[in-house]
Structure 1
């Protein structure tokens, strides 16, 4: 990577003349893309552009340097901030450096030159960082949880700690959390940080495979084992040999298959459906569920012995509504990525849009936020996302009884109740099945027969 790496620089300076001076100096390098702001708020509102460097005047009309620095680091933790002050105060300088500032420059006749040198050093560090990232990519570090799982909240920082601990050993990992919180993403992060990263990461959604086919999917089958088995097929356990097998929605596993899974995990070998040979495997297991497995055990829907076999290192993912400012970090990231992939002008979010996101509960969690931001980028009339561009839904709790006349058939009344719950749970069939205490296959059948709709 050459030292001519293009970088983006924000200059935040309320003194127009001094801001022009700094801009003039830095603009001598054509690889520097520079934007100038006179207020902290104007800079904060443009962070979706993700500048590499921000020069920050310590005394701004709408905020002191330490306060603005804190906001910058919360919103964009990776940005490099250089504080420029008219006062030479050692205590202030030390405090800012501890807060995460890269450097503290005092305003005098040599400031522009010192800034030039400082930015040059930062550019070289950025170039080295990118080169290291490229080399890591080549040797198998294909997944960086710090980049894939964004967030500065305490919950996410703790999550990164658990990911690192899990990656050091082959302990089974059980991941729980609401739908859309990123359980598979966490499993991938652990796999690609572990010494198994060169082998396969195999994911199976237990809830998405019909019960009668799941045994073959997991353990494989021999030719002629059943009607349609025209060839031998290896199962997911064999496919994940030397790698990682991730079983999502493990709570949906049928009790009879739970017994077979327990045996497989105890013996570390599988027998294909219709076969007799015992096939050893070496695969790390991770499981995930949106349910409380301990409660499932208590209510007899999940084997206690399998529960303790799978528990291993438990990781609970927080819902998005409990992660504070993380929602804005994620929103900016999704927005920028969508615009890049679709060759669109990168949009920024207005303060009103940010507040609307912060005050929304996001029942669909991170998955819902991603969909919201992509649609907002399409619907926006300008390069700034407004509150009206955010298609947020506010699901209402279902009423105790649907509005019916009493003359409908039982089937019609059942469909009306299921439809109401589907509408209020964002079409999540698993949640509705649990809420109404009916089989998810019943709801799938009603969808196929057009008795209910996933809106």
Structure 2
């Protein structure tokens, strides 16, 4: 563990040594004493983590030395120690950005100890937040967060590259399960707003009577139950990115209020009067055709043009070719690692079955399918029989595989033969075909 470097600048050698000795009782601290401001400045290349300054130095006053230190390292915390008890001096220094102001007396060394502990904890938290944001940026890098190599996906990447260069609004469209929120996060965490918040809101999940308050906030007493002020999602995302999923579900009465906020770049909380300035990057998503919703007059045309910005259309999984197998392996490896299952692989038959499926639920459905297959398989090998189609829509499951009309006809007859205990006559009546047709297909081996 690296030592925490502290510079003490104090012209009273005896007093400085007391402070140095007291702080050095912590073995994690490396404390260096300087008698002048110039000595301190000449050693700033050693990159201290914190500096304490005597306000009345022989060569530089504390406030002037503080400004010179800030010119070198604007983020470096500085504690001012002074015999000045004039409150205005302390206030002015704190306004300049001094981390703490201590009066020289018998309690100073203990107050200094507590101040250093507090500042160090704050620095540690800031580093942890910065590291987490860096990790998020890596996690949501395009090639790690959105898996695939298909041409269809590469087109999406090209649009995302354009999106991160400016603050233009983004509209993401695509079927359910294609990864619209993942794209929104990747854009945010690779943009110049990555150090601020990413706030996601599903418009379809919020009751109509709560949407306005949830988006724009409210003041205490604005309505029954408003027992305190609430900050809305727009304010929460200020400086960052607000992701409004299922934007097409937004009621017309709220659409007009959203339009005003986007036009004015400010809002007024429900029940309030204060205009709150906003700097928010908006990303919206929908699985519907917004242009069609405009034609149906369920979505405002002026809002449509305001939010459209840069459109990004996500391809359904069935149009991404070999990405199905790349994603399947990715999900399988993740699930196996999380559950300590060892190495699991797909048979050729399992891969063929995955490539033939329609995937109405897209990437989300594929993940659920692979997780289940990993549980059901034997000997760490996923076979075709371990892959269960998870769609709840019967017609989509039936049409999932690419077959000829003759093959589909065979499937239909097989289904009704099984249902009717292989009664050919009953099956021919249900399907309105001749029983001779069924017998001929049996003889040809098509209905085994």
| TM-score interval, smaller chain | 0.5 to 0.7
- Among 219, 224, 228, the alignment partner of 1:222 is 219
Do the aligned partners of 2:137 and 2:190 also contact (CA within 8 Å) in 1?
no
Q: Distance in 1 between matches of 2:323 and 2:340?
A: 26
Q: Deviations over 1:320-364 (max 9, x none)?
A: 011100000000000000111112112101111000000000000
Deviation string for 1:48-102 (max 9, x for gaps)? xxxxxxxxxxxxxxxxxxxxxxxxxxxxxxxxxxxxxxxxxxxxxxxxxxxxxxx
2:104 maps to none
Which residue in the other structure is 1:277 paired with?
274
Deviation sequence 1:163-202 (CA, Å, 0-9, x none): 1110000000000000000000000111011000011000
In the alignment, is residue 250 of structure 1 matched against residue 223 of structure 2? no
- 3-state SS of 2:306 partner: helix
TM-score, scaled relative to structure 1: 0.57
- Distance (Å, rounded) in 2 between the aligned partners of 1:139 and 1:324: 29
Between the aligned partners of 2:163 and 2:373, the Cα distance in structure 1 is 37
State the alpha-carbon separation in 2 of the partners of residues 138 and 332 from structure 1: 23
1:327 aligns with 2:324: yes
Question: What SS is found at the alignment partner of 2:394?
Answer: coil
**Does the 8 Å contact 1:335/1:346 carry over to 2?**
no
TM-score normalized by structure 2?
Answer: 0.57
Q: CA deviation at 1:142?
A: 4.6
The aligned residue for residue 396 of structure 1 is 394
Give the deviation of 1:141 after TM superposition. Answer: 4.4
* C-alpha displacement of 1:381: 1.5
Q: Kindly provide the CA deviation profile for residues 139-164 of structure 1, in whole angstroms up to 9, marking residues without a partner as x.
A: 95452111111111101111111111
The verdict on how the C-alpha distance between 1:333 and 1:138 changes in structure 2, with shifts beyond 3 A counting, is closer
* Two-structure CA RMSD over aligned residues (Å): 1.7
Maintained 8 Å contact 1:224/1:231:
yes
1:240-279 deviation digits (Å, cap 9, x = unpaired): 0110000000000000100000000000011111111111
- Aligned match of 1:145: 142
- Would the alpha carbon gap of residues 182 and 297 (structure 1) be closer, same or farther in structure 2, given more than 3 Å must change? same
Structure 1 spans left out of the alignment, 5+ residues: 1-133, 399-455
Q: Secondary structure at the match of 2:227?
A: coil
Q: Report the alpha carbon displacement of residue 393 of structure 1 after superposing the two structures with TM.
A: 3.9
Which of these residues, 290, 294, 301, is aligned with residue 291 of structure 2? 294
CA–CA separation in structure 1 for the residues paired with 2:352 and 2:322? 10
| Secondary structure, aligned partner of 1:392 | coil
**Match for residue 160 of structure 2 among 158, 163, 169:** 163
Counterpart position of 2:99: none
- Tell me, which stretches of 5 or more residues in structure 2 are unaligned? 1-130, 397-448
Q: C-alpha distance in 2, partners of 1:140/1:331?
A: 24
Q: Which position in structure 1 is the counterpart of 2:259?
A: 262
Question: Which residue, 374, 379, 399 being the options, matches 1:377?
Answer: 374
Determine if contact 1:174/1:312 at 8 Å carries over to the other structure: yes
In structure 2, what is the Cα distance between the partners aligned to 1:224 and 1:211? Answer: 19
Question: How many matched pairs?
Answer: 265
Match of 1:221, SS? Answer: coil
Seen in structure 2, the aligned counterparts of structure 1 residues 271 and 192 have a Cα distance that, compared at 3 Å, is same
Work out the CA distance in 1 between the residues paired with 2:273 and 2:307: 26
Secondary structure class of the residue paired with 1:344: coil
More RCO (CA 8 Å, sep 6+): 1
Q: Does residue 180 in structure 1 map to residue 164 in structure 2?
A: no
CA-CA distance at 1:224 after TM superposition: 1.3
Structure 1 ranges of 4+ moved more than 3 A: 134-142
Structure with bigger gyration radius: 2
Q: 1:349 touches 1:385 (CA, 8 Å); kept in 2?
A: yes
Q: SS in structure 2 opposite 1:175?
A: strand
